[in-house]
Every structure is written in structure tokens, then in C-alpha cells.
Amino acid sequence: AMENKGLNIFNTKYVLADSRTATDADFAAVESVIAHEYFHNWTGNRVTCRDWFQLSLKEGLTVFRDQEFSADRISHATCRIENVAMLRALQFPEDAGPTAHPVRPASYEEMNNFYTMTVYEKGAEVVRMYHTLLGEAGFQKGMKLYFERHDGQAVTCDDFRAAMADANGINLDRFALWYSQAGTPVLDVKGRLNGSGGYELTVKQTVPPTPDMAEKQPMTMPLKVALFDAENGRQIAFRRPGSSEEITETVLLLTEAEQTFTLENVRQNAVPSLLRGFSAPVHLNYPYTDAELAVLLAADTDPFARWEAGQTLYRRAIAANETALAQGLPLPEHQGLLEAVEYVLAADDVDAEFQAMLLAVPAEAELWAERSDIDPLQVHRAREALLDLIARRFQAQFLALNQKAAHAEQQADPAIRYEYSPETAGWRTLRNTCRAFVLRADPEHIDTVAEKYAEMAQNMTHEWGILSAINHNESGKRNELLEQFAEKFRDDALVMDKYFALIASSRRTDTPAQVQAALNHPAFSLENPNKARSLLGAFSRNVPHFHAESGAGYAFIADKVMEIDHFNPQVASRLVQAFNLCNKLEPHRKSLMQAQLQRIQAQSGLSKDVAEIVGKILA
């Protein structure tokens, strides 16, 4: 697992980029990956892993370091939210599924299967918790001692924990559970004024059972909190017991299954801001009213907590839609949510990228993360109905905001106007968000888009945003624009990956046929991992087509898993994880998915990589 001197880059897409062929997100990814590999010269080379089980020692730590680098380069607020969104969409389902494993795995059949979101992204969250508990100065003291003790050595996650503890004179023995227990902890929190000048927070912690371990111990973790006045949204100062210092934010240390914390000198009706900065990788439940969430959305000084208030409102609205659809009732009007969206659209105290994030609705994979007996299409329809409502209600505002963002982008220096920079990238992100809502509200707007395409598509971020916005449109114009795009970039392999991803992620009725045709496209090769991921990976995340009631989507991906397994078991084992949801599905789809897994398992000469994943799901 040693990261020898140099930069080990495993994908050409993360080396070179230019604005004609790479999006702003691609540029940010190049910076992040190059930074990650560069940082490995210290965390992975100067100090490396004693054995494969310690893989997160270098990967979790180095992901944390590259995240902090990107945050310094771009924005701490938006980068943190992006990290959390990815963790929830990809790692939380892994932690709740049949392949769940601790940050430091206890065993493995095929080591390639442990280059996972848990080892990397959850591992980074564990490192971030050290930082939150110890502060920047304490964390740097720990890093300094870690290098002094272990430079030139191969060591363990325990050695890193010991360096952090010894450098700061603190006992972190119980923190070791983050390395040995799989699963995402759940915090159930209640808050109240106690009648004697204090505000009490009671926190119950549970760690759900996972296939490798049924009974879990309570974890040690930081819970960062603040309080806001329920009437005017002002942040409330308070004191910790035994202290005379007035503070507006504190970190509570959770160590037990249930604890009560008191914040003193609080007498007004307060709304707690919890898990600020996403201070621990957990599910958090608090009985907020919609009015309390509106206070946090408008007034919270922590960007993550502000964004999370909006996300909670979206999740509630989608759940209400789902209930109405299941019962055959009219969809709710969601007046409170619409008022919140109207506020976000008019907000002038946020930057463009953050405004776009506040308008983003949670993905299906996050919505069903903690559930069982899932009907994916019902969740999808409920989410689509909410997006349709927002698009129709605020069509004029989205048009106006798009024009505002376009004007702001035009104010940039002409020499770099369409080149990557965090400021101009934020305006383009907001424009693409608005475009998607405008095209959703008025599908016929595609005619105007087609007419002005060349004028609008000034760089790849614009092109990608436009094509993504029209990608689900049933009009023939959509096909014309995509084919025009493919012809323009037919000699650029990485841009063609974007074309194949668009084909496979479309909700159009003819998408399965278009995906089959793409398999025979001159620019497509199943033996190229980027191509396989762009087409097949995107299709496996396409909810209405992958989860089609006939089971055709499951059969198609199973066929490709078996085909790819003959020449690239690692890519096949990643693709087969699309079936991780199997045992949480409603009975009909569960049966269909199980049948495909059994068909894969019966394949002659199946690799260890795929066999391990399939075996765990079926078990």
C-alpha cells in the first residue's frame, strides 16, 4: 500500500483539462486528485501502512487533507456541503447494506473490494472528528508528533490515534470504535428550556446492526451546537456548566448511549442548530417544526446547518407526496416549503454556488437510505412531483436569476471569463440550476435552446448544463443536440464519456434502446473502464429504467457484469454493487434482483472480486 515518491494517478481524466472540454467540476476534481496524490508523499510514503487492514490510515487521512486544500482554494462552505452530499449518497448506503464494513476492515476475500467509500470518505470523516475535538492547533500538534514518531515506518490506525491523544494529553481510547464498528450511528435529540435558566439537550445514540456485528457500543463523537432565537433568528449566547464565559457555539462530547447537556443562561424560546459543520458522520433526528427550520434556513450562521434545514424541508415534502401517491390523494400544496424556496431565490446574502446548493433537492439514494420495503419508482415520482411544482411556481424567478448570473459572469475579465475560477464557476453552477428548472417548467423552451445553442455554449460547463437540462425532453430536438455534441467531440475520449453518461441517465422512454445502440457506438469500448462507468454506471443510477417493473434493467446490468468480469473483475465488482439495495426493496423487485444475482453467482469462472460482493448480498 506504499505511495512511492511521485504522483500515482489512476485515471487520465484527472491530469489535464481545458475549459473547452472540461467542466468546472472537472477542474476542481483535477486539483483535488493531484493534491491528494501529492499529499501522499507525506501520508502514505513517509509514513505508510503496516498491513492492508490499515488502508484508511493513509487514504482517510489524505482525503481529509485534499478536502481541506480544496476548501481553501474554493470555499469551505460549499466544499463541506459537497463532501456531505457525496457521503450520504454513496457511503451511507454502503454502511447500511450487505457490504458494510468498518473503516478498518476485520477481514476480506479480495483486497480490491476494500478501496471503498467507507475506507476513504468515512475514514476522512473520522480524521475530521479528531480535528473538531482537538481544534486546529491541537490537530497540528498531533500531526507533528505522528511524523516525529513514525517517519520512515509502516504503522497502524492506532498509532495515529495515540499521537493525537498524547500530543494533547487526552484519552481517546473509546474513539477506536470508529475503526472497528460498521454502520452509521443515529442520534435522536430533544431540546427544552429547563425552567431554571438553562436549555437542555438530551441525546440518544444507537448504532444499527450490520451483517458483521449485531450488537454495537456507543461511539465517542463531537456534536457541534448553537442556539437561535425562535422569534427573531438572532444567535443566543450561553455558558457551559462551571464556566463564566459567554459563547455562541460549543462542541458537546458524546460518549454514552444517552446523555443530557445543559447550556446555561438561556431564557428565551430557542431553536437548536445541531451537528454544525456535519461534526460527525451520523443520521440526526430532531422534531423541528417547519417554522423552526425556516428560522435556521434564514438565520443560521453555519452554512451546513442552513443548507440542512432546507434539505429537511425538501425531504418532508417528498415524503408527503409519496404518502399522497400511495393513497391516491391529491398532492399537498407545500405552502411552507414554497415560501422557503421563494426566500432562497431572493436571497442576496449568499454567494451563487451556495444559492444553487440551497435549491438542490436530495437524490433518491439519500431519500431511501434508512428505509426498507422500498418502491424506487414511488420515491422517484414523489420527488419529480416536487421538482415540477417548484419549477412551475417559480418559472419567472428562475429566468430572472439565470439572467442575473449571466450578467455577473459577463463582468469577469474577458481573458478569463469562461475559464475555471471559483467565482465564475459559482455563477455557472447557478445558471445550470436555473436552466434545469426552466426547461422542466416549459419543455417547449428546448426550441429556443436549440436555436441559441452555439451562442449559449461558451465552454464545457455551459454545454453540460444545457444538455443536462434538456436530457429528459421527449422532443426530437434533444436527440439532435446530443448527436451534434457527439459529432463535435468525436475525437475526444473524455468528452465522449459525458455523451454516454447523458444517454444512460435520461428518463426518456427510449433510453434503454439508446443505451443498447451506444454499446455499438464507434467511440464506445466496454473494455475501457471510463466508458463502462459512464454508460453502465449512469444507467444503474437511472431510477425509472434500472428499477423498471419488468426487471429488464436488472437483467441488462447483470449481463454486463458477467461480460466485464472476464477481462476486468475490478470494474465488474464496482458495477455489481448497484444491486446492494436488493434486500431493502419491496417484494416484487427484490425477487427480480435476487434472480439476477443468482444468475451471476452461477456463472462459470466468476472472479473473487464479484463473487465476494454477490455472496454478501445474497447472504
What CATH number has the domain bearing residue 262? Answer: 2.60.40.1840
| Mean pLDDT score across all residues of the chain | 95
The confidence score (pLDDT) of residue 563 equals 98
Is residue 37 annotated as a catalytic residue, yes or no? yes
Q: Indicate the pLDDT class of residue 441, thresholds 50, 70 and 90.
A: very high
Last residue of a domain, one of 165, 180, 195: 180
Among the listed residues 175, 31, 179, the one whose alpha carbon sits nearest the alpha carbon of residue 105: 179
Catalytic residue among 3, 31, 37, 353: 37
Residue 128 and residue 62 share a domain:
yes
Residue 59 and residue 43 share a domain:
yes
Give one DSSP letter per residue of 257-283, joined into a string.
SEEEEEEES--S-EEEEESTT--SS-E
Residue 244 and residue 173 share a domain:
no
Q: Quick one: average pLDDT of 100-110?
A: 86
Residue 214 and residue 86 share a domain:
no
Residue 222 and residue 158 share a domain:
no
Q: Indicate the pLDDT class of residue 2, thresholds 50, 70 and 90.
A: low
Using the predicted structure, report yes or no on whether residue 10 has a pLDDT greater than 90: no
236 lies in some domain: yes
Percent of the chain as helix, strand, coil, to the nearest 5? 60, 10, 30
612 lies in some domain: no
262 lies in some domain: yes
What CATH number has the domain bearing residue 166? Answer: 1.10.390.10
Q: Indicate the pLDDT class of residue 107, thresholds 50, 70 and 90.
A: confident
The confidence score (pLDDT) of residue 265 equals 95
Using the predicted structure, report yes or no on whether residue 384 has a pLDDT greater than 90: yes
Query: Residue 237 sits in which domain range?
Result: 186-287
pTM recorded for the entire structure: 0.95
576 lies in some domain: no
Residue 169 and residue 252 share a domain:
no
CB 210 within 8 A of CB 237: no
**pLDDT tens digit sequence for 529-554:** 999 999 999 999 999 999 999 999 99
* Residue 71 or 196, more confident: 71
Looking at 149-158, 195-204, 263-272, 412-421, which range is the least confident one? 412-421
> Which SS3 state, helix, strand or coil, does residue 351 take?
coil
Percent of the chain with pLDDT over 90: 91
Last residue of a domain, one of 269, 287, 305: 287
Residue 199 and residue 166 share a domain:
no
Residue 216 and residue 112 share a domain:
no
Residue 168 and residue 30 share a domain:
yes
Q: Indicate the pLDDT class of residue 448, thresholds 50, 70 and 90.
A: very high
- Greatest pairwise CA separation for the chain in angstroms: 74
**pLDDT tens digit sequence for 125-141:** 999 999 999 999 999 99
197 lies in some domain: yes
403 lies in some domain: no
Q: Indicate the pLDDT class of residue 1, thresholds 50, 70 and 90.
A: low
The confidence score (pLDDT) of residue 553 equals 98
Q: What are phi and psi of 441, to 5 degrees?
A: -70, -35
597 lies in some domain: no
**pLDDT tens digit sequence for 359-375:** 999 999 999 987 899 99
Residue 267 and residue 219 share a domain:
yes
Using the predicted structure, report yes or no on whether residue 106 has a pLDDT greater than 90: no
Residue 191 and residue 176 share a domain:
no
How many Cβ atoms from other residues are within 10 Å of residue 22's Cβ? 23
The confidence score (pLDDT) of residue 225 equals 98
266 lies in some domain: yes
Number of domains in the chain: 2
Residue 273 and residue 161 share a domain:
no
Sort strands 153-155 and 47-49 into parallel, antiparallel or unpaired: parallel
The confidence score (pLDDT) of residue 110 equals 72
Using the predicted structure, report yes or no on whether residue 413 has a pLDDT greater than 90: no
Last residue of a domain, one of 154, 180, 206: 180
